[in-house]
Amino acid sequence: MKVAVVGANGQVGREVSLFLSVMGAEVIPISRTELGGVFLERCGLNCRYGSVGNEKEVKMLLDGCDLVVDFAHPNGLPSKIRKSVKSNIDNISRYAPEGASYVYISTISAFGMRHDDSKMKNYFFSRTTYAADKRYLERYALAQQNKRDIYVLRLSQVHGELQKVSQEFVAETACGKVSLPFSKDTESYTVFCYSLAEAMINIAQGKEKPGRYTFVSTPEWSWGEVYTYWARQNGIEFELTSLKNVNSENIILRSILNIPKLLLAPILRLGIKHRQFILNYFLSKFPHIQERMRSEFLRRKAVTEIAEGKKEKEGRKFQIGKIPGKKLVSLSDSRLTMDKPTLAVRAIIQAADPSALNVPSPKFKTEVRDEI
């Protein structure tokens, strides 16, 4: 089985290439430049160099493959990104060997969430340009179904030996204590590079039907399991705490107590906005009220400045809500099956570039919250 990996020089593409190789597939990593393929060459993989967007090169790059996995996504203006990726999709669909399936890699950001802590759902309108681009390109790729089997995988948060987010999790646990804003048993939207490689093999073997899928570990890992896994892998002892569920009575009570604040807030904002006018014409004879308004103004200003100065130290943000979309059916439980392949990949990376596995110093400490 030959699997061509387009964009193999990217963070996810190169680790998936290594997992494919140790899991028995013949990998064809494709990189636009030789510089981009240095790491994989040192790991023992023979790369092909060129652009699948070039009609003169694409046949040579994809020659002999049974499956094409496309991780490529250029940077730039939306119009240029769409034109470039459409060219890749067109050429792969047209010139890949007959019978070879095509997997276009997308992201759960295509659901349209605006922020890292936005509610997880399928928004009717995309909240970001990136999400809009991905939706458009997904539709464009799936429109090529008349030429070959097309798969679109919306990746969730990808973990692995070379993944930056995993190194951040290690750094957070190294702080000694991680407190989650929800139960540690809450299902996460994570997936490991091992499962990505497994999915590619299963697709090549015809175990999945063409179409669009939300790609998370199956069964899902909880957030507590993800943190504990990376702590154990690096010999870190840490304390994991989480907020207990708040009963409905407490929620109702808090809502009632917050009503005065909710009613007062817009009045305060209006007063602060027009404070000079109010101070000059209405409150000149009430110094106590003037002092209160000035104090509130300075307090809010200080909070804003402190928040701006500590953005890099904020804790991790989590999207909430059940992740939507159809899931793959052929994945194994990665808790039980990925240990041996992971050890093999780790050994290859260690031999090729030991510094690639170094864990950076934490840039922030996950916020520690009091339990309730």
The token duo for 308 is 């701006």
CATH of domain 2-165+188-239+314-357: 3.40.50.720
Higher per-residue pLDDT: 245 or 109: 109
Tokens for 197? 């490689």
Instruction: Say what the pTM is.
Output: 0.79
Query: pLDDT by residue (tens digit) across 289-348?
Result: 667 766 777 777 777 777 655 544 567 889 888 899 999 999 999 999 999 999 999 999
What was the pLDDT predicted at 359? 54
How is the chain split into domains, by residue range?
2-165+188-239+314-357, 249-311
The amino acid that residue 268 corresponds to is L
| 268 compared with 137, residue with greater pLDDT | 137
Question: pLDDT tens-digit profile of 90-136?
Answer: 999 999 999 999 999 999 999 999 888 888 999 988 888 888 899 99
Distance CA 159, CA 16 (A): 11
pLDDT at 245 over 50: no
Residue 268 pLDDT more than 80?
Answer: no
pLDDT-derived band of residue 74, with 50, 70 and 90 as boundaries?
Answer: confident
Question: By mean pLDDT, which of 15-24, 133-142, 193-202, 253-262 is the weakest?
Answer: 253-262
The two tokens of residue 272 are 């602060």
What percent of the chain shows pLDDT beyond 90?
64
